[in-house]
Structure 1
Amino acid sequence: MGENVSMPDPATPQSQSPDPTAAQFYLNRELAALEFNFRVLSQAQDARIPLLERLRYLSIVANNLDEFFEVRVAVLKHHHSYGSAAPGPDGLSSAEILTRIRQRVLDLVSAQYATWHDDLGPALGAEDIHFLTHEQWSDRQRRWLRGYFENEVLPVLSPLGLDPVHPFPRILNKTLNIAVVLHGRDAFGHEGHMALVRAPRSLPRIIRLPDEVCGPGDHFVFLAELLQSFADLMFPGLDVAGSYQFRVTRNSELVVEEAEVDNLAHALSEELLGRGYARPVRLEIGNDCPQSIVSMLIANFELEETDVYRCDGPVNIIRAGSICNRLDRPALKFPRFTPRLPGGLDVESRMFDVLRQRDVLLHHPYESFGAVVDLLRQAAQDPEVLAIKQTLYRADSDTPLVDLLVEASRNGKDVTVVIELRARFNEEANIRLAMRLQEAGVQVVYGVVGYKTHAKMMLIVRREDGHLRRYVHLSTGNYHQANSRLYTDIGLMSANPEIGEDIHKVFQQLSGLGPRLQLKRLLHSPFTLYTSVVAKIERETANARAGKPARIVAKLNALNEAHVVEALYRASEAGVEIDLIVRGACTLRPGLPGLSERIRVRSIIGRFLEHSRVYWFANDGNAEVYCASADWMERNLLRRIEVAFPILDPVLAQRVYDETLANYLADNTHAWLLDANGRYARAAPGDALAHDAQQTLLDKLCP
């Protein structure tokens, strides 16, 4: 599961310490991102996890793999085709990376379907949950399914026979399709040959059979199984010699030259129309499909044999996870919990009164996102509030925040919302959101040309005793209420004047294209965040060389910025103790003799998606802690609008350290430890007491 590396010779004199910029000391970012999915798949295989949640993890792997091909593989293939990409810090060419990706994806797909057949299938069956294949249908079930097919499916299908006047149709990204081989002559005397059936998006991909047909339990059939089994009903008078499901994945990376368009929203809308039919990058096909059909599909999609992935089961296995929300089986799901209100707040709290007295920390999902909603609701209805400014990167369609922004505008507040139209796979929803807000009189801006606005900020301006006071909410996560129950994130609500002034300046820059800012408290990408992170690492390095205690702890989603990795290597060489909690891709190799012996990297995969970013620096006994929207990635540090905000209250700072850092460093049940070769091994309690970081927080904050 890793990459081989030439280890430094332990006998090398210290004066000849390893070069921290050498390619051999960097893992490849795409391969590191792919490895994350093996850790997620292990959750689907873990008998300690409730069964339906294990099925959900299997679906998550399939979804992640889709996005991996739509974006990362698509970009790599583009660069490879045009020879436009120089090797990264790891020194690998795009051709080498694509070759390694294929092998690892083959391993992952094989493990995925083995988990489906050998592990989850029998376990679901033991709980009377069945995914039935056509070989398993009873006569009664077959009759019902045939009737369902004739009445609910067949009327909306448009089977297409392939011939000179019916060329190969356009196949939409990630849709289910069936290739059908036919024998015989049709009504016009034409010889049957080949046909395609595209499953309309209006049809459910999983069909539940009624209890009166199957008896007790829950019985499901994939739509693909119906389309294959009743293909003869679509082609009366012809013999069906074979039917084979397939699915094509296309490049979903939108390319809009912002500097060359007059209206970004309009340009993106036009680009989105073609996304579903962009260049193919992967073909998934059933294991039983003959090579002649595969070759025909490859030719039509202009792919290579190496782009084909055979599936030992449904090509759209991602759909299996949809039953998790449909089934009322609480014993097979994670126990429910109720997030508490943070920091002594209650439903009667007047948020402005509280924030004038103290900062409030929110640790989601253990503490309720409702506190943020309450703050905005009170602002929208308070006659003393003059202005509200907010960024929206991803927001769920039914979030009350949007309604409150509309209400605030109608109540006469000056409301400005920065919407990131280019938030990947949220572009269409964000365009609709922008239009709705504009219709309500909200001033909507789209940020800065060339830089995605990824910062999570809310600013409220209120008149108090003849003066203006600013209140802010900052977060490591999106203003997405559903995700606040699934992702771990840190939020801060504050009336600190310096932080408020900093946020005011950032919003001015976003809406008014202002000059480079001098901020007092915030670290701001693409200006000061990168240089500040490197400088703080170098400060720890200098402290270690001076014989002072020196330590760095960071919790991130990903780490791949080469100069940050280099700075961490030099810090380790100098004696700095470094602990990194990196959920996903990490290109740093820990534990290399003479280079990264003092660096430890772990990944936590649990019930909740780890999403908070926290940076902690010992600073010679005057510890600093920042929470951020930014990972230590090139795009976050150099090509996005990001903010990292300090936790200034010592009590809250200690709480952030204890809950998000020390707690996770103690995890020995859901932690994966990275070695120098890029391999992950699951931590085990051994003789120690088992410690589950997420469950510890549930017990502490949601008793």
Structure 2
Amino acid sequence: MVDFKQSKYYVNREISWLAFNDRVLEEARDVYNPLLERANFLAITQKNMDEWFMVRVASLQQQVMIGLDKVDASGLTPKQQLDQISLVAGQQIKNQYQVLTRSILPALKREGFELLRAADLSTTQYHFLKQFFEQELLPVLTPMAIDSTRPFPFLANDTLNIGVRLKKENEKSEKYIAVLQVPETSGRVIALPEENQYILIEDIVQLFLGSLFPGYTIKESMVFHVLRDMELDIADDEDTPNILQDVQSKLQERERGRIIRVILSHTTSKSLMTKLIKLLHVDEERTYRVNGPIDLTFLSAWLKLITAPELHFPSFTGYTDSDLVPDQLFASVRQQDYLLHHPYDSFKSVVSFIQTAAQDDQVLAIKMTLYRVSGKSPIIKALGDAARRGKQVTVLVEIKARFDEENNVHWARELEQQGVHVVYGLRGLKTHAKVVLVVRREDDAIRRYVHLGTGNYNDVTANFYTDLGLLTSDSELGADVASVFNILTGYSDPGYFHQLHMSPDGIREFIYEQIDNEITNAKAGRPAAIKMKFNSLSDEQMIRRLYQASYAGVKVQLIIRGITMLKVGLPEVSDTIEVHSIVGRFLEHSRIYSFENDGNPKVYLSSADLMTRNLNRRVELLFPLKNELIRDKVLAIFQTMWDDNVKTRVLQADGGFVKKDRRGVVALNSQEKFISDSLIQQNKQTKLESLAAATQQFEPLNNPFLNEEQGNES
């Protein structure tokens, strides 16, 4: 029997994550993508890497600092992981800047959009910027000297700063050092008077830096960006009775976390760089020099100033089923289940479900979970409206959602003020489940309506995240969801669910059972296959179970957007496992779990990825698709994605991802296919609505479209 625990069978989690970010970087290189979308992909790689450093790299540094040397599944200690990260991340940063300077900026210039440096400015532009500097920047700039009486200042997380080396007039020494933070009040990118010419705010500050240090000569100035450890450590004991206050307190502490990365200009002198590294207390291995503008997220700010629709993906609005408009919604869902595939199906149907419930006099209660919502969420407004109308409204707001903690604290307070009963998550667990329960009185009976989904109730990200959701009035699912809320808000242990599976523990054990069933079928010569789609695979025990399935001959197809610690092509270990990764216009976020079950497939959707945190330390839900039409539709969605040969990368035995060979094959971009299908649905619905409107202009007896009998009669 093969020992599936051997470290040679696993990829390091962090190196796998960097490989994912490299796939995003490929989209920035891809000349078949519209130019401004390529620039946006490059900005996304920077944002991704920043968040990864602030959490994952910071966590590894903490482990090294306390002397932890426990190896991960791939056999690496925290120190060894950091050493590998330094090399791989350093190369990826170089690649980012090659894409910027050799591809994106020249292409933008050819299209007439130019980012100027100080040396490129005309006399008119110089005088414009001098006036801008004096009026807008000079009043807010604060140069901070560093000497024996003025220690190195605190530099906030995710800020741009300028380091300055100076010489005092009539002195030979160049020992004077100062820093100043680049202000954010005017934005990162400034439009110049000439159309489509721009300059970065830090270049303006450096251009007129001398006015801040009269009596001194500037010998050198450089821009640098700092990131801090932003992991939020919430106590899991009972010493802190108020979890909301605990989170708010930790948010303040987090802002002063240890600096874990510095990026600076490649022109920085060795002496100034050495001085800064010492003052910032950052390891040299976490210091990266780049040839280009510091912090590539400036591209996001620049894109907002550029008007060129032809350089973006064509605009697209998802399909809204006419059955799910407010006056028909509850009647429609009472008749049948509805599958929603976002963004191809508009998220407005989900928003409408909650808004309609808020205004419907027959609705008695609304309960839901919120993990991430938009800054101006219509869902929050609808919940407040429902509470003011006297309905029982209960919302679990997960205030520990990473990097959304402050936003969620705000919304929790806002909902409370509107009369909503707010639960702040569970101590020791994050509530990541996506569920809404609407309780409605109908004909002296109580009926439950439910929405279960794979993604957040965020009306903004729903336009570019792919997710699946189910609208249903199934009585067993409704009872299960009611039990879930009783667990989340009170003291309840229902003992079992009719259809739902819930983590911690429940989803893991259920998936184990399904995999074991496939193994049994494979050994008996019956049809056996596993098809799954999710964001990340990093749970060692789950990988081991999939290896066991492959060893038994089960065909395993996995679509994984991000991390995968599993290896393919290992003899007797993963011979039958294939892994695809789709990175394209939309961020693949839906989670599908399908098992062949001897020719009678079982299909489930879930909020959970196959990561240890999702299976052990979060409240997640996995739910079945009982309706055969919906089940088959999801299987067809999976198959379309599996057949994608444009945006798919296939995992190789050496750990690399390679695009499919398309020679002699018709191109299939699954996301574009789903967009096309959605537009066809919209056109059909528009024609039917136009036809219905036209028929109302005629007398019934002269209208052959009313029904077949009247048509024949006429």
TM-score (norm 1): 0.95
- In structure 1, the partner of 2:712 is none
Do residues 195 (structure 1) and 184 (structure 2) align?
A: no
Task: Tell me how far apart the structure 1 counterparts of residues 657 and 678 of structure 2 sit (CA, whole Å).
Answer: 30
- In structure 2, the partner of 1:476 is 454
Q: Which amino acid aligns with 1:499?
A: L
Q: Percent identity?
A: 38
- In structure 2, the partner of 1:297 is 276
**Unmatched segments (≥5 aa) in structure 1:** 1-16
Q: Deviations over 1:515-536 (max 9, x none)?
A: 2641110111013100011111
Determine if contact 2:440/2:447 at 8 Å carries over to the other structure: yes
- In structure 1, the partner of 2:306 is 327
Which of 406, 409, 414 is equivalent to 1:436? 414
Determine if contact 1:258/1:264 at 8 Å carries over to the other structure: no
Greater shift, 269-278 or 438-447, is seen at 269-278
- Map 1:280-679 to 2 at 5 A: 280-342=259-321, 344-345=322-323, 347=325, 349-515=327-493, 517-659=495-637, 661-679=638-656
Do residues 276 (structure 1) and 255 (structure 2) align?
A: yes
Q: Which amino acid aligns with 2:243?
A: L
Q: Which amino acid aligns with 2:344?
A: Y
Flag the 1:203–1:650 CA change in 2: closer, same or farther, 3 A.
same
Q: CA deviation at 1:702?
A: 2.4
Task: Tell me how far apart the structure 2 counterparts of residues 395 and 328 of structure 1 sit (CA, whole Å).
Answer: 28
Do residues 138 (structure 1) and 122 (structure 2) align?
A: yes
* Structure 1 residue runs of 4 or more that deviate by more than 6 Å after TM superposition: 189-192
* Superposition RMSD in Å: 1.6
Q: CA deviation at 1:349?
A: 4.3
Task: Tell me how far apart the structure 1 counterparts of residues 204 and 345 of structure 2 sit (CA, whole Å).
Answer: 45
Q: CA deviation at 1:388?
A: 0.5
Determine if contact 1:29/1:587 at 8 Å carries over to the other structure: yes
Q: CA deviation at 1:85?
A: 5.4
Determine if contact 1:134/1:225 at 8 Å carries over to the other structure: yes
Do residues 266 (structure 1) and 245 (structure 2) align?
A: yes
- In structure 1, the partner of 2:708 is none
Task: Tell me how far apart the structure 1 counterparts of residues 655 and 494 of structure 2 sit (CA, whole Å).
Answer: 39
Q: Deviations over 1:418-452 (max 9, x none)?
A: 01000000000000000000111110002221010
- In structure 2, the partner of 1:685 is 662
Q: CA deviation at 1:502?
A: 0.6
Q: Deviations over 1:109-144 (max 9, x none)?
A: 100001110001110001001111122222222222
Q: Deviations over 1:256-281 (max 9, x none)?
A: 20322111111111111232221111
Determine if contact 1:250/1:282 at 8 Å carries over to the other structure: yes
Task: Tell me how far apart the structure 1 counterparts of residues 243 and 186 of structure 2 sit (CA, whole Å).
Answer: 34
- In structure 2, the partner of 1:148 is 132
- In structure 1, the partner of 2:691 is none
Determine if contact 2:146/2:152 at 8 Å carries over to the other structure: yes
Task: Tell me how far apart the structure 1 counterparts of residues 346 and 226 of structure 2 sit (CA, whole Å).
Answer: 40
Task: Tell me how far apart the structure 2 counterparts of residues 20 and 404 of structure 1 sit (CA, whole Å).
Answer: 51
Task: Tell me how far apart the structure 2 counterparts of residues 603 and 186 of structure 1 sit (CA, whole Å).
Answer: 63
Q: Which amino acid aligns with 1:40?
A: V
Q: CA deviation at 1:300?
A: 1.6
Task: Tell me how far apart the structure 1 counterparts of residues 402 and 547 of structure 2 sit (CA, whole Å).
Answer: 32
Greater shift, 500-509 or 149-158, is seen at 149-158
Flag the 1:191–1:666 CA change in 2: closer, same or farther, 3 A.
closer
Q: CA deviation at 1:348?
A: 5.5
Report the 3-state secondary structure (helix = DSSP H, G, I; strand = E; otherwise coil) of the residue aligned with 1:176.
strand
Q: Which amino acid aligns with 2:165?
A: V
Report the 3-state secondary structure (helix = DSSP H, G, I; strand = E; otherwise coil) of the residue aligned with 2:304.
helix
Determine if contact 2:262/2:286 at 8 Å carries over to the other structure: yes
- In structure 2, the partner of 1:101 is 85
Determine if contact 2:86/2:285 at 8 Å carries over to the other structure: yes
Q: CA deviation at 1:350?
A: 1.8
Q: Which amino acid aligns with 2:299?
A: A
Q: Which amino acid aligns with 2:127?
A: R
Greater shift, 590-599 or 52-61, is seen at 590-599
Greater shift, 107-116 or 377-386, is seen at 377-386
Determine if contact 2:521/2:528 at 8 Å carries over to the other structure: yes
Q: CA deviation at 1:186?
A: 10
TM-score (norm 2): 0.93
Determine if contact 1:224/1:314 at 8 Å carries over to the other structure: no
Q: Which amino acid aligns with 1:307?
A: R
Task: Tell me how far apart the structure 2 counterparts of residues 190 and 262 of structure 1 sit (CA, whole Å).
Answer: 57
Greater shift, 234-243 or 398-407, is seen at 234-243
Report the 3-state secondary structure (helix = DSSP H, G, I; strand = E; otherwise coil) of the residue aligned with 1:702.
helix
- In structure 2, the partner of 1:698 is 675
- In structure 2, the partner of 1:13 is none
- In structure 2, the partner of 1:11 is none
Q: Deviations over 1:584-641 (max 9, x none)?
A: 0000001112211110001000000000000010001111111110001111011100
Task: Tell me how far apart the structure 2 counterparts of residues 186 and 438 of structure 1 sit (CA, whole Å).
Answer: 64
Do residues 170 (structure 1) and 158 (structure 2) align?
A: no
Do residues 205 (structure 1) and 188 (structure 2) align?
A: yes
Greater shift, 63-72 or 586-595, is seen at 586-595
- In structure 2, the partner of 1:8 is none
Greater shift, 630-639 or 147-156, is seen at 147-156
Task: Tell me how far apart the structure 2 counterparts of residues 186 and 382 of structure 1 sit (CA, whole Å).
Answer: 80
- In structure 2, the partner of 1:182 is 166
Q: Which amino acid aligns with 2:630?
A: L
Determine if contact 1:132/1:219 at 8 Å carries over to the other structure: yes
**Unmatched segments (≥5 aa) in structure 2:** 681-714
Do residues 80 (structure 1) and 59 (structure 2) align?
A: no
- In structure 1, the partner of 2:688 is none
Q: CA deviation at 1:191?
A: 8.4
Q: CA deviation at 1:328?
A: 1.8
Matched length: 679
Do residues 21 (structure 1) and 21 (structure 2) align?
A: no
Determine if contact 1:603/1:673 at 8 Å carries over to the other structure: yes
Q: Which amino acid aligns with 1:359?
A: D
Flag the 1:513–1:87 CA change in 2: closer, same or farther, 3 A.
farther
- In structure 2, the partner of 1:6 is none
Q: Which amino acid aligns with 1:577?
A: K
Determine if contact 1:448/1:513 at 8 Å carries over to the other structure: no
